[in-house]
Amino acid sequence: MKRTGLIVIAMMLAISTFLAACGNRSASDQPSGGQTPAASPSASGGGSSENQGPTQSYNFNMSIPVGETSTWFLAAQEFARLADEKSNGRIKINLFANNQLSGGDNVKAIEFLIQGKNDLSYDSTIFYSLVDEKFGVISAPFLFKDWADVDQKLGGEGGEALKALLREKGIEPLGLGQNGFRQVTNNSRQIKTPDDLKGLKFRIPGIKMYVDLWELFGANPVQMSFPELFPALQQGVVDGQENPIDLIHSTKFYEVQKYLTMWNYSFDAIVMGMNKKLFDSLHPEDQEILREAATAANEYQVKLSREKESQQIAELEQLMEVHYPTEEELNAFKEKVSPIYEKYGPVWGQELLDAFRN
Region 86-100 average pLDDT = 96
Helix (H, G, I), strand (E, B) or coil at 272: strand
In DSSP terms, which residues pair with 242 in a beta bridge? Answer: 184
In DSSP terms, which residues pair with 273 in a beta bridge? Answer: 121, 173
Say what the pLDDT of residue 6 is.
Answer: 39
Does residue 24 register a pLDDT over 50? no
Does residue 208 register a pLDDT over 50? yes
**221: which DSSP letter?**
E
Contacts 24+ apart (CB under 8 A), 22-31: 31/55
Measure the CA–CA gap between 332 and 263, rounded to whole angstroms: 12
**Mean pLDDT value across the chain:** 88
Fold of 58-357: D-Maltodextrin-Binding Protein; domain 2 (3.40.190)
Domain boundaries along the sequence of the chain:
58-357
Confirm if 199 and 219 have CB atoms less than 8 A apart: yes
- Least confident interval from 29-43, 59-73, 273-287, 342-356: 29-43
Measure the CA–CA gap between 54 and 43, rounded to whole angstroms: 14
The separation between the first and the last C-alpha atoms of the chain, rounded to the nearest angstrom, is 94
Q: What is the tens place of the pLDDT at every residue in 226-279?
A: 889 999 999 999 999 999 999 899 899 999 999 999 999 999 999 999 999 999
In terms of Cβ atoms closer than 10 Å to its own Cβ (0-12, 13-18, 19+), residue 24 is exposed
Say what the pLDDT of residue 358 is.
Answer: 79
Say what the pLDDT of residue 262 is.
Answer: 98
Query: Pick from 256, 265, 243, 266: which is nearest to 312 by CA?
Result: 243
Say what the pLDDT of residue 225 is.
Answer: 86
Say what the pLDDT of residue 54 is.
Answer: 82
Q: What is the tens place of the pLDDT at every residue in 169-204?
A: 999 999 999 999 999 999 999 999 999 999 999 999
Helix (H, G, I), strand (E, B) or coil at 61: strand
Say what the pLDDT of residue 12 is.
Answer: 43
Q: What is the tens place of the pLDDT at every residue in 330-349?
A: 999 999 999 999 999 999 99
Say what the pLDDT of residue 43 is.
Answer: 43
Confirm if 154 and 99 have CB atoms less than 8 A apart: no
The whole-angstrom distance between residue 139's C-alpha and the CA centroid of its chain comes to: 14
The more confident residue out of 155 and 17 is: 155
Helix (H, G, I), strand (E, B) or coil at 118: coil
Helices 157-168 and 147-154: angle between axes, nearest 10 degrees:
50
Does residue 13 register a pLDDT over 80? no
Helix (H, G, I), strand (E, B) or coil at 158: helix
**135: which DSSP letter?**
G
% of the chain with per-residue pLDDT over 70: 85
The more confident residue out of 45 and 74 is: 74
Say what the pLDDT of residue 51 is.
Answer: 55
Say what the pLDDT of residue 308 is.
Answer: 95
- Least confident interval from 44-53, 67-76, 83-92: 44-53
Say what the pLDDT of residue 53 is.
Answer: 77
